[in-house]
C-alpha cells in the first residue's frame, strides 16, 4: 500500500503515486466560498461548499517516469485518490490535479532530456 493511490477507471484498479517528502505532505479541509464587501461596508461570506479536501504534495527529486505519471493526471477532469488525512484515516475522494511545478536539476546535454526534477509540487483538490 502506498501513501497515495489513484484510480482513473472509476475505482476498478488502483496504482501507486510517488511518495512525497514527509516535510512536504499536507492535507487540509477548506470551505469554498465567495466573499465580498457589500455597499454598506459589511463582509458577506457565502459558503458554497464546506470541508473540501486538499492534498498538498512536494517532492525533492523525481525521475522522468514519475514526473510523467503525475503530469498525466493533469489531463483528467477528475479521478479518485486514496490518501491519509489528518485523523490518520484512509479516505477516497474524487479529485482533480493542480498543475505540476518543478525545476530541472539534471539534464542530459547530448539529447536534452531531463533526468531529475527538484522542488516538484502538485496539489489534489476534491472535485
Residue 12: partners with Cβ closer than 8 Å, 6 or more residues away:
none
Least confident of 17-21, 53-57, 114-118: 114-118
pLDDT digits over 63-111, tens only?
A: 888 988 999 999 999 999 999 988 899 999 999 999 988 877 767 778 8
Q: How far apart are CA 66 and CA 16, in angstroms?
A: 10
Residue 94: all three cell numbers together: 474524487
The pLDDT value given to residue 50: 67
Summarised one tens digit per residue, pLDDT across range 25-66 is 999 887 767 788 888 888 887 776 667 899 999 998 888 889
Predicted pLDDT at 34? 78
Question: Hey, where are the domains in the chain?
Answer: 5-126
Cell numbers standing for residue 19: 511518495
Residue bearing the bigger pLDDT, 29 or 122 = 122
* Cα dihedral 44→54→11→18 (10° resolution): 160
Amino acid at each position: 500500500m502506498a501513501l497515495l493511490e489513484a484510480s482513473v477507471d472509476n475505482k476498478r484498479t488502483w496504482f501507486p503515486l510517488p511518495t512525497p517528502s514527509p516535510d512536504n505532505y499536507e492535507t487540509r479541509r477548506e470551505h469554498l466560498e465567495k466573499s465580498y464587501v457589500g455597499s454598506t461596508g459589511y463582509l458577506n461570506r457565502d459558503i458554497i461548499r464546506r470541508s473540501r479536501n486538499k492534498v498538498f504534495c512536494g517532492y525533492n527529486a523525481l525521475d522522468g517516469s514519475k514526473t510523467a505519471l503525475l503530469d498525466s493526471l493533469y489531463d483528467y477532469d477528475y479521478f479518485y485518490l486514496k490518501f491519509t488525512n489528518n485523523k490518520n484515516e484512509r479516505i477516497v475522494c474524487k479529485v482533480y490535479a493542480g498543475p505540476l511545478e518543478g525545476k530541472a536539476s539534471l539534464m542530459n546535454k547530448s539529447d536534452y532530456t531531463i533526468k531529475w526534477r527538484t522542488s516538484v509540487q502538485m496539489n489534489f483538490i476534491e472535485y
